[in-house]
Amino acid sequence: MKILVTGGAGFIGANFLNLLVPRHPEHTFVNADKLTYAANLGSLAEIATAPNYLFTRVDIADMAAVDAAFDEHAPDVVVHFAAESHVDRSISGPREFVRTNIEGTFNLLEAARRTWKDGQGLFHHVSTDEVYGSLGTEGLFTEDTRYDPSSPYSASKAASDHLVRAYHRTFKLPVKLTNCSNNYGPLQFPEKLIPLMIMNAQDGKPLPVYGQGTNVRDWLYVEDHCEAIWTVVQRGAVGETYNIGGNNEVKNIDVVHGLCNVLAQEMGRPPAELLGLITYVKDRPGHDLRYAIDATKIKEQLGWSPRETFETGLRKTVRWYLDHKVWVDQVRNGEYRNWIEQNYAGR
Ligand code: NAD
Ligand code: DAU
């Protein structure tokens, strides 16, 4: 099979490729990525020369470029990760989210529709639990939860989910969707909560917690997410949606406390030194209170459940950032630094 992986140089896409390229020499994986600020080809160093891996630079919002990639590579499967993914960026600059997440997904669907005839192909859309909006203190998101997105990011992902389902209903395009909770682990760009806190704590900088730190996220180790996606690609039913979650609801402030304790142990520093860096800052506008996934469907129908606990996953993640100084320095010396200075200054 030829598998076109969009956004394969980003956090989850790179973890997906690093896991699957060596495991499946019988498949060819084509990584189509625009290489935005969030991408890093260094994340793919271990598979860069594998005979079953190719990279092609494609902006999915450019229809001609998407058509050319489909013509050249004739994929049997698309696993669509490419997106603008950071909620705070969608608040300071929403346009790119509409362009990539909505128009980009539309372009891929159009190219797939043109290329695949009579039930050929598979379009796997990687989406988020944020499309469901915010939970109160009770309840879980199921696949039937009504869409109610809060941020420009989640609204753009919701629109892309609707387009994918519409192409299935209207044009019979074979599609599958997964909506996943917060990922963490190696290779995550340090604008997201966990790697940002690891960087700042190492540097002795403030650890900015939004609002009261009482918002809850359901954390999933990235490799567990990648295994879940692959399970759905292989054995999920066409036209279906599967929620993916870690069964790991944690308040933000408890995430940061946990991180400080693990980091202090791993760095041989007193925990109080890192805990003292915690600073409460102005809340994110439209900040969803709580996300939590009911992953019964994928567990019962496809036999997937997460392997990593939050404790083991967090320690692995901290160790990875401490052990990969070259990757970290490369990321921090790039455009990241400008953005952090412009948008997260003074926190
Ligand atoms: P990321 O920001 O780390 O990486 C995104 C990748 O997409 C980058 O390599 C970037 O270069 C590429 N990209 C962006 N715009 C592009 C364009 N116009 N054309 C081609 N490539 C482009 O994102 P991530 O955290 O790896 O998320 C991947 C997918 O998973 C996204 O669709 C996101 O919505 C979804 N998701 C993420 C999480 C999470 O916690 N990170 C959870 C659930 C779902
Ligand atoms: O739920 C899935 C989503 O998880 C994905 O679809 C998104 O792509 C991904 O970015 C993530 O969104 P969040 O907004 O939940 O992730 P983020 O890491 O930005 O924030 C996690 C929580 O931590 C959130 O409640 C906001 C808070 N936070 C975040 C940052 C960056 C802070 O308190 N301080 C911070 O500096």
Give the residue, by CA position, lying nearest to ligand 1 atom 25: 11
User: Three-state SS for 233?
Assistant: helix
* pLDDT at 224 (0 to 100): 98
Residue 150 is given by DSSP the state: -
Give the residue, by CA position, lying nearest to ligand 2 atom 11: 182
* Tokens (6 digits) for 149: 């997105």
**Helical H segments across 241-333, by residue range:** 252-267, 271-275, 296-302, 310-323, 325-333
Q: Cβ(225) to ligand 2 under 6 A?
A: no
* pLDDT at 333 (0 to 100): 79
Q: Cβ(231) to ligand 2 under 6 A?
A: no
Express each pLDDT in 119-137 by its tens digit.
999 999 999 999 999 999 9
Q: What is the largest CA-CA distance in the chain?
A: 63
Residue 98 is which amino acid? V
* pLDDT at 347 (0 to 100): 61
- Please count the other Cβ atoms lying within 10 Å of the Cβ belonging to residue 276: 13
Residue 115 is which amino acid? T
Contact 122, 2 (CB under 8 A): no
Distance of CA 233 to the CA centre of its chain: 17
**Parts of the chain with a pLDDT under 50:** none
* Residue 122 to residue 76: CA distance in whole angstroms: 7
Angle formed by the axes of helices 325-333 and 335-343, nearest 10°: 60
* pLDDT at 335 (0 to 100): 64
Q: Among 30, 44, 78, 81, which is best to mutate for testing ligand 1, by the most ligand atoms less than 8 A from CB?
A: 81
147 CA from centroid of ligand 2 (Å): 19
Q: Cβ(63) to ligand 1 under 6 A?
A: no
* pLDDT at 250 (0 to 100): 98
* pLDDT at 346 (0 to 100): 62
* Tokens (6 digits) for 294: 């009911």
- Please count the other Cβ atoms lying within 10 Å of the Cβ belonging to residue 47: 20
Domains of the chain are: 2-187+219-247+290-309 (3.40.50.720)
Residue 223 sits at φ, ψ, to 5 deg, of: -65, -35
Q: Which residue carries 């891929």 as its tokens? A: 108
List Cα–Cα distances, 120 to 41, 71, 78, in angstroms. Answer: 31, 15, 12
Express each pLDDT in 63-88 by its tens digit.
999 999 999 999 999 999 999 999 99
64 CA from centroid of ligand 2 (Å): 33
